[in-house]
């Protein structure tokens, strides 16, 4: 593929929102030793992508300008680096691209073998592309941070999932119900039926007083909160938690990080636990298999062609997606 050009979306500086995205032709990337070159069939947009553009994660992200955003994709293997062991040309895969480099919103992208999983025919490219950051975050929050066993063998746990209609929340509800859990979920009025269908035992409208207070309609206290909504004061969580209850905060604000530090030094039994996603192939494999077995679905908010990637970008910035926003080349 050396010298071949591809269509991609990139930006040159912080800020600018959807209007800051440029449609360009750039060389197809070359895979390094442990990398795979993938022809993109579907990519998904995450809030992380536009937060990087806004400069909210500077100076770490992005590594340099111009930057092609996008971490989540599904597609077909075109070329493999010499050290790649498990994939060959023609394989269908799902990958999480290195977030520092980005590259997902393009016709071709490179990803490490260690965060690439095989995609069976039963899993569409769009379903697979949704799983990356959002599915893996929901999985990590429930299993690693909250200690829920998704084979149902653990002790019964009461879980609250906030923003259950969003990219992460939709997966979190479905995965939590594979465990021995009672799930309370928050979302807006228009998505309450959907979130119930995903498996939530009780659903609260976040725009009502009880919803804003995160109160379980059945009076339950939570063993774990998978907090996918915007920052919420600890004083709102605290009265709703069991004695050893944890809040897994996937978007911790500076105040939340302060709460975390203070709780550490005071040996608090109720805890706020910030989460940073560490993508792993074994977890991607697990999620893909659940989709194949129809035990997990990707709710798709909307699909956009790469030529209109700015619409997908605007939709994500708007903050009202129901499920995943997909971009197709
Ligand atoms: N730590 C990590 O590694 C990590 C990984 C992934 C994501 N994240 C972060 O997690 C957050 C969620 O990501 P996402 O992809 O799920 O976002 P998303 O898909 O954009 O979430 C949108 C959904 O959230 C709902 N919502 C907004 N505010 C709410 C509230 N106060 N209560 C209940 N529902 C609410 C919206 O419902 P309405 O339309 O009805 O308002 C909408 O359906 C983002 O801030 C993201 O950056 C962090």
Domain boundaries, the chain: 5-119+299-328, 134-274
Closest C-alpha to ligand 1, atom 36:
320
DSSP 172: H
Which two structure tokens, joined as six digits, stand for 223?
């063993």
Task: Indicate which atom in ligand 1 lies nearest the CA of residue 325.
Answer: 19
pLDDT values of the chain reduced to their tens digit, one per residue, 329 residues: 778 999 999 999 999 999 999 999 999 999 999 999 999 999 999 999 999 999 999 989 999 999 999 999 999 999 999 999 999 999 999 999 999 999 999 999 999 999 999 999 999 999 999 999 999 999 999 999 999 999 999 999 999 999 999 999 999 999 999 999 999 999 999 999 999 999 999 999 999 999 999 999 999 999 999 999 998 999 999 999 999 999 999 999 999 999 999 999 999 999 999 999 999 999 999 999 999 999 999 999 999 999 999 999 999 999 999 999 999 99
Question: What are the CA-CA distances from residue 271 to residues 163, 209, 241, 248 (Å)?
Answer: 20, 24, 9, 9
Q: Is 232 in the pocket of ligand 1 (CB under 6 A)?
A: no
Given the structure tokens 């379903």, which residue do they identify?
127
Q: How far is the CA of 167 from the centre of ligand 1 (A)?
A: 7
CATH superfamily of 134-274: NAD(P)-binding Rossmann-like Domain (3.40.50.720)
Rounded CA separation 323/301 (Å): 5
Beta strands in 190-259 (DSSP E): 202-205, 222-227, 241-249
pLDDT of residue 45: 98
Top-level class of domain 5-119+299-328:
alpha beta
Residue 84: CB within 6 Å of ligand 1?
Answer: no
Of the candidates 212, 41, 20, 37, the one whose C-alpha atom is nearest the C-alpha of residue 129 is: 41
């Amino acid at each position: 593929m050396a010298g071949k050009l591809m269509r991609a979306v990139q930006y040159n500086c912080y800020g600018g929102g959807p209007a800051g995205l440029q449609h360009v032709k750039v060389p197809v990337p070359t895979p390094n030793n442990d990398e795979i070159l993938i022809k993109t069939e579907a990519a998904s947009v995450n809030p992380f992508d536009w937060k990087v553009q806004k400069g909210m994660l500077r100076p770490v992200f992005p590594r340099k300008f111009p930057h092609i955003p996008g971490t989540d994709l599904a597609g077909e293997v075109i070329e493999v680096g010499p050290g790649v062991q498990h994939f060959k040309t023609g394989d269908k895969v799902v990958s999480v691209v290195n977030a520092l480099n980005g590259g997902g919103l393009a016709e071709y992208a490179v990803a490490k073998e260690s965060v690439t999983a095989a995609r069976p025919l039963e899993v569409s490219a769009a379903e697979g592309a949704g799983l990356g950051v959002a599915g893996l975050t929901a999985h990590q929050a429930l299993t690693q941070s909250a200690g829920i066993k998704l084979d149902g063998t653990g002790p019964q746990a009461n879980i609250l999932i906030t923003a259950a209609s969003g990219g992460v929340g939709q997966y979190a509800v479905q995965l939590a119900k594979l465990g021995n859990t009672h799930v309370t979920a928050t979302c807006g009025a228009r998505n309450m039926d959907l979130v119930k269908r995903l498996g939530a035992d009780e659903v609260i409208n976040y725009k009502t007083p009880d919803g804003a207070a995160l109160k379980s309609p059945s009076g339950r206290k939570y063993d774990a909160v998978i907090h996918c909504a915007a920052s919420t004061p600890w004083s709102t969580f605290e009265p709703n938690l069991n004695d050893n209850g944890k809040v897994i905060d996937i978007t911790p604000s500076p105040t939340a990080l302060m709460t975390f530090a203070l709780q550490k030094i005071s040996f608090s039994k109720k805890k706020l636990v910030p989460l940073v996603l560490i993508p792993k192939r074994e977890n991607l494999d697990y999620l893909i298999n659940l989709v194949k077995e129809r035990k997990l679905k990707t709710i798709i908010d909307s699909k956009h062609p790469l030529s209109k990637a700015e619409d997908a970008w605007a939709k994500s910035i708007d903050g009202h997606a129901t499920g995943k926003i997909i971009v197709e080349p």
